[in-house]
């Protein structure tokens, strides 16, 4: 009986589970290579992760900061000019009451030169707030940039 239960559990655990993940893409229409951080709130310190470039070759590294607060950036997270950053979550706009997606954009050159504290303190980033109404039929929004640093 125990063996039969164990076999059933193993078989059931191998079945694919279909998640209802929503995806959107942010197109970089600036002339810069950028990092796009997805945040939970309207606060750069609430960034959960950085978007991956659509079609980038798989890289097993993650973008993070080192002991000194300097970025160690995965090549997947750089979004060059006219490329797309991909974002997917089970509830695209459900994590906040305002039904907005919060994204913070940092130029590649700033991410390489400045520490996280310097980027935040000197506001070396731009913000992009996305609502469901802003998305086109392809769940795509274009970022044209307001970065002047």
Q: What is the pLDDT of residues 73-117, one digit of tens each?
A: 888 889 999 999 987 765 556 555 557 789 999 999 999 999 999
Q: Report pLDDT for 12.
A: 53
Residues 6+ apart with CB under 8 A from 20: 90
- Nearest Cα neighbor of 84 from 139, 126, 133 is 139
- Nearest Cα neighbor of 32 from 125, 116, 123, 119 is 125
Question: What are the beta bridge partners of residue 114?
Answer: none
| Res 20 pLDDT > 50 | no
Contact by Cβ (8 Å): 82, 144: no
Domain boundaries defined on the chain: 20-143
Contact by Cβ (8 Å): 48, 39: yes
- Nearest Cα neighbor of 128 from 3, 57, 25, 54 is 25
pLDDT averaged over every residue in the chain: 79
State what percent of residues in the chain have pLDDT above 70: 72
């Amino acid at each position: 009986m125990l063996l039969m239960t164990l076999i059933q559990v193993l078989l059931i655990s191998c079945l694919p589970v279909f998640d209802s993940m929503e995806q959107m893409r942010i197109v970089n229409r600036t002339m810069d290579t950028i990092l796009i951080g997805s945040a939970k709130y309207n606060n750069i310190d609430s960034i959960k992760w950085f978007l991956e470039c659509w079609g980038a070759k798989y890289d097993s590294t993650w973008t993070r900061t080192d002991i000194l607060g300097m970025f160690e950036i995965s090549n997947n997270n750089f979004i060059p000019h006219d490329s797309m950053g991909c974002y997917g979550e089970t509830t695209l706009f459900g994590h906040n009451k305002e039904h907005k997606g919060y994204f913070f954009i940092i130029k590649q050159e700033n991410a390489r030169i400045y520490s996280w504290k310097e980027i935040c303190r000197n506001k070396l980033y731009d913000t992009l707030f996305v609502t469901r109404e802003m998305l086109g039929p392809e769940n795509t929004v274009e970022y044209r940039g307001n970065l002047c640093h």
